[in-house]
Each structure stands twice: as structure tokens, then as C-alpha cells.
Amino acid sequence: MRDLQLCGGNSLLLSQVSALHCGTPDSLLDDTDAYVADLYTKYSIVRPICVSCRHSGKEAKTWGAKKFVKKQKVK
């Protein structure tokens, strides 16, 4: 379960968060789900999405694309 850090040192557990599209707090995709885990490799923030919204074709909202620096070839 992911622990979100908020301003002022407060934290919010993922269990207190609802899905972005439908607002349900139930049946959220876990961080170990392949779809969510893949998004975390590309983005620093992934908003919660429930199973039914994901199956209906909706995408999770993401922020903070991770930048990967390519190494230059040595000549």
C-alpha cells in the first residue's frame, strides 16, 4: 500500500483515496498490477484507478514523466 506524503508532514494512505474516474474507494488496482507497475516506471505520480474503469478502457492519470539520460558513445 502506497503512503502519499502531503504538505505539512501529513500523509495519506492509498486506502483513503478513491478512483479518479468514478470515485469508488473499492477495487482499486494495486501497485503490483502490471499496468500500474509499468506506469510507475515511467511516471512519478499515478492516480488510483479501479478495476471496472480500467476494463472499460479508461487510463490512469499520471504526472511527472521520468527523464532518462542517454549515454553518449565514446569515440
Please tell me whether the overall predicted TM-score, pTM, comes out greater than 0.85 for this model.
no
For 54, the domain range is 3-65
According to the model, what pLDDT value does residue 2 have? 55
Whether 55 is covered by a domain: the verdict is yes
Whether 74 is covered by a domain: the verdict is no
pLDDT tens-digit map of 2-22: 555 555 666 555 556 788 788
According to the model, what pLDDT value does residue 34 have? 95
Whether 73 is covered by a domain: the verdict is no
Number of domains into which the chain is organized = 1
According to the model, what pLDDT value does residue 56 have? 94
Answer whether 47's CB lies under 8 Å from 39's CB. Answer: no
Whether 71 is covered by a domain: the verdict is no
Answer whether 22's CB lies under 8 Å from 52's CB. Answer: yes
According to the model, what pLDDT value does residue 62 have? 92
Whether 24 is covered by a domain: the verdict is yes
Whether 49 is covered by a domain: the verdict is yes
Residues of the chain under the 70 pLDDT cut: 1-16, 75
Whether 20 is covered by a domain: the verdict is yes
